[in-house]
């Protein structure tokens, strides 16, 4: 089977030359293991951090070894009593056509409840990030005015809609194209949205939230975080989820330059890691799948077809070519 390797550590923006698609023998299926044929794998912003050789909350990718990450597929061989041939599973060995792993490291998923790809997005890791980040980390409460950046992405689009469904007084989103902005307002029900490329974020946020904001869900960092700090009402709370504007930076960015406002406004800025919030998963799946069934929560996916386009899909994600979750689908 084919698998993607990282072959060079990018400095700044990654390029296609940093990746190679290679042929590898599919390992023997050992006792207690399963063989999964990949249907979809996930490309995610956090993977950019794993391309650097630095100690972090997830270990770096190793050069000339298969990359990994979320994937879903069908079990085609099994030496486990728990998972049978024909079952569908979610697991962590993405970026390859075939995965062999211990059955204990795979979770069975039901393709009759939701399309398989949804388990990588709206009902998966990004969805739980949105749910836990808003409700637990940012301590969202009814009546809050909420600002979310990266709002047309997998996490951001779910944050904004959950906030609306839970009684936010106003939801504002920012995204990187006029088309995405239109989608936020017309399809996802945001009260206001703006294209951060059309002018200074702080001015656009002030215009969109004249009465200030109570919660900021940060996917972007830098100028967006600075703008949120300016627009915060007293006792505002930020869930610091990601800082994608800085992932390819080679120099530290100066913003936010207004951190001193944290004092007078008594702000709380709290980092979040989705891995800490597994206990919330059953409630998240139940509530969000209900909203999806009723049509109250909508989602998009951007699907790139063919394993050979995997690296391009990842690069496209960093450039904002996705609306909703970026998914790589393997051809039949």
The tokens for 171 are 């939801």
Asked whether position 155 contacts ligand NDP by CB under 6 A, the answer is yes
Asked whether position 202 contacts ligand NDP by CB under 6 A, the answer is no
Q: Which of 163, 175, 208, 304 binds ligand NDP (CB under 6 A)?
A: 175
Q: Which of 46, 100, 165, 280 binds ligand NDP (CB under 6 A)?
A: 46
Asked whether position 311 contacts ligand NDP by CB under 6 A, the answer is no
Asked whether position 242 contacts ligand NDP by CB under 6 A, the answer is yes
Q: Which of 83, 215, 238, 241 binds ligand NDP (CB under 6 A)?
A: 241
Q: Which of 69, 70, 94, 153 binds ligand NDP (CB under 6 A)?
A: 153
Asked whether position 177 contacts ligand NDP by CB under 6 A, the answer is yes
Residue 212, φ and ψ in degrees, nearest 5 = 85, 175
Query: Taking the complex as a whole, how short is the minimal distance between the CB of residue 268 and ligand NDP, in angstroms?
Result: 16
Q: Which of 99, 134, 154, 225 binds ligand NDP (CB under 6 A)?
A: 154
Query: Taking the complex as a whole, how short is the minimal distance between the CB of residue 219 and ligand NDP, in angstroms?
Result: 4
C-beta closer to ligand NDP: residue 66 or 126: 126
**Euclidean distance between CA atoms 313 and 19, whole angstroms:** 12
Longest dimension (CA), the chain: 62
Q: How many residues bind ligand NDP (CB under 6 A)?
A: 28
Q: Which residues of this chain interact with ligand NDP, rule CB under 6 A?
A: 44-46, 126, 129, 150, 152-156, 175-177, 180, 219-220, 241-242, 244-245, 272-274, 317-318, 320, 322
């Amino acid at each position: 089977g084919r698998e993607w390797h990282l072959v060079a550590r990018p400095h700044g923006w990654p390029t296609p030359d940093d990746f190679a698609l290679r042929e590898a023998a599919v390992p023997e299926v050992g006792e207690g293991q399963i063989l999964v044929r990949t249907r979809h794998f996930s490309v995610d912003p956090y993977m950019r951090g794993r391309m650097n050789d630095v100690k972090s909350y997830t270990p770096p990718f190793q050069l000339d070894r298969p990359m990994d990450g979320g994937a879903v597929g069908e079990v085609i061989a099994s030496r486990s009593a728990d998972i049978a041939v024909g079952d569908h599973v979610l697991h962590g060995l993405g970026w390859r056509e075939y995965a062999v792993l211990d059955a204990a490291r795979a979770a069975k998923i039901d393709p009759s409840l939701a399309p398989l790809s949804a388990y990588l997005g709206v009902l998966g890791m990004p969805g739980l990030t949105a749910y836990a980040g808003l409700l637990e980390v940012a301590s969202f409460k009814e009546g809050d005015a909420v600002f979310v950046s990266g709002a047309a992405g997998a996490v951001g689009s779910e944050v904004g809609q959950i906030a609306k469904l839970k009684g936010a007084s106003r939801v504002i989103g920012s995204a990187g194209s006029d088309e995405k902005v239109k989608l936020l307002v017309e399809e996802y029900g945001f009260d206001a949205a703006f294209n951060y490329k059309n002018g200074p974020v702080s001015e656009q946020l002030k215009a969109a939230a004249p009465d200030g904001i109570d919660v900021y869900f940060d996917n972007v960092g830098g100028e967006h975080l600075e703008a949120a700090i300016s627009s915060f009402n007293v006792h505002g709370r930020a869930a610091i989820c990601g800082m994608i504007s800085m992932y390819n930076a080679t120099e530290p960015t100066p913003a936010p330059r207004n951190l001193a406002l944290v004092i007078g406004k008594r702000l709380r800025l709290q980092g979040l890691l989705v891995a800490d919030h597994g206990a919330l998963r059953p409630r998240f799946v139940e509530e969000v799948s209900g909203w999806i069934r009723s049509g109250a929560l909508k989602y998009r996916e951007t699907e790139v077809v063919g394993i050979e386009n995997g690296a391009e899909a990842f690069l496209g994600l960093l450039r904002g070519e996705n609306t909703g979750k970026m998914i790589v689908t393997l051809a039949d």
